[in-house]
Amino acid sequence: MKTRIIAGLCMLPLLLFLYWGGWPLLVITAAICYMGVTEFYNGWEAMGVHPSRPVAYVMTTVLFAVHIICQTLDVEGVENYFLLIWLVLAVAASLMYGWKINERGAYDAIATVTGLVYVVFFAFHIVLIDCTLHNMVWIVIIASFGSDIMAYFTGMLLGKHKLAPVLSPKKTIEGSIGGVIGAGLLCLVFGLIVDGAGKGLLLYFALGAIAGAVSQCGDLTASAFKRKMGIKDYGKLIPGHGGIMDRFDSVIFTAPFVYICIVIMMIVIGGTV
C-alpha cells in the first residue's frame, strides 16, 4: 500500500499536463497511446496471439501527425473527415495483416484492430476534447478516478450484492451506484468552481454521472481482457498500480463518450456547455 501511495503521488505532476492542455497534453496522450497499445498487445501475446506492432505504431503516428498538421494549418474541419478515413485505414491495415494465413491466425488481425480502436482511437478523444472545450478534459479524469474512489468506499460501507463476480469479485452494485452518484457530484463541484452557480451545474452533474458509469464499464472491460489473457496487470511501469493500461483503462474508455456528450450538448444549447 505504501508503494502504491508513493507511486500515486509521483503521478500528481501529470495534472499539470491537463491544466496546460495543448501540446503538453498532446504529448502525454501520444505516450499513453504508444505504451498502452504495447501493453495491450503484450497481453494478447501471453495467450499465443500475435498482433502487429508495426501497423499499430505507424497508424498511431499518422493519427497524431495529421492532427498536428491540421492544427498548424487551422483546418480543423478537414480533420473530422480524416478521422473517419483513419478509422477505415486502421481496420483495413489490421485485416490485411492477416493475409499470410500460413503464418498468422484470424485472431492476430482481430487483436491488431482491437488495440488500435480500443486503446489508440479511444484515447485520442482526450485531444479532441481539449481542442473542443479544454475544461471538459477534467471531467474525464474527475469522473473516472472519482467513480473508482467513491465506488470503493461506498462498496466497503454498504456493499452486499456482487456486480460482476466473475470479472471483479470485490465490486458491488451498491458501490457502483455510489460511484456514479459520487462522480456526478464531484463534477458538479468542478462546474461550480469553473462556471459558478447556475442551471449549467445540472449538465455537469449529468455528464459526470454518465462518465462515471462509462468508466466502470471500461474498468470491467479491462478486467475481462486480462482474465482471458491470464494476466494480473498489463505492465509494471507504475509500482503498485501496474502498467499504463491498468491506471488509465477507465480514462481511455470514458473519453469518447464524454466527447460525444459534449458535441450533443453544444448542438442542443448552441455552442456552450
The reply to whether 208 falls in a domain is: yes
Q: Is residue 1 part of a domain?
A: no
Q: Which pLDDT tens digit goes with each residue over 87-144?
A: 999 999 999 998 888 888 889 999 999 999 999 999 999 999 999 998 899 999 999 9
Q: What share of the chain is helix, strand, coil (3-state, %, to 5)?
A: 80, 5, 15
How many angstroms from the chain centroid is the CA of residue 93?
23
Range of the domain at 98: 19-132
Q: Which three cell numbers stand for residue 50?
A: 500475435
Per-residue pLDDT tens over the stretch 215-259: 999 999 999 999 999 888 888 876 666 789 988 999 999 999 999
SS3 165: coil
Question: What is the maximum alpha-carbon separation in the chain?
Answer: 64
217 with 124, same domain: the answer is no
The answer to whether residues 20 and 130 touch, using CB atoms and an 8 Å cutoff, is: no
The tens digit of pLDDT for each residue in 28-64 reads 999 999 999 999 999 999 999 999 999 999 999 999 9
Show which of 132, 154, 171 is a domain's final residue.
132
Average pLDDT, integer, range 18-36: 92
151 and 109 within one domain: no
Residues 31 and 165 in one domain: no
Please report which helix (H) or strand (E) contains residue 255, including its range.
Answer: helix 244-269
Domain count, the chain: 2
Residue 162 pairs with which residues in a beta bridge?
Answer: 172
Same domain, 62 and 123: yes
Yes or no: say if 7 and 195 are a contact pair by the CB < 8 Å rule.
Answer: no
Q: Report d(CA 92, CA 71) in Å as an integer.
A: 26
Same domain, 150 and 26: no
With a cut of 80, say whether residue 168 has pLDDT above it: yes
Q: How confident is the model at residue 12 (pLDDT cuts 50, 70, 90)?
A: low
Give domain status of residue 143, yes or no: yes
Among the candidates 132, 165, 180, a domain finishes at 132
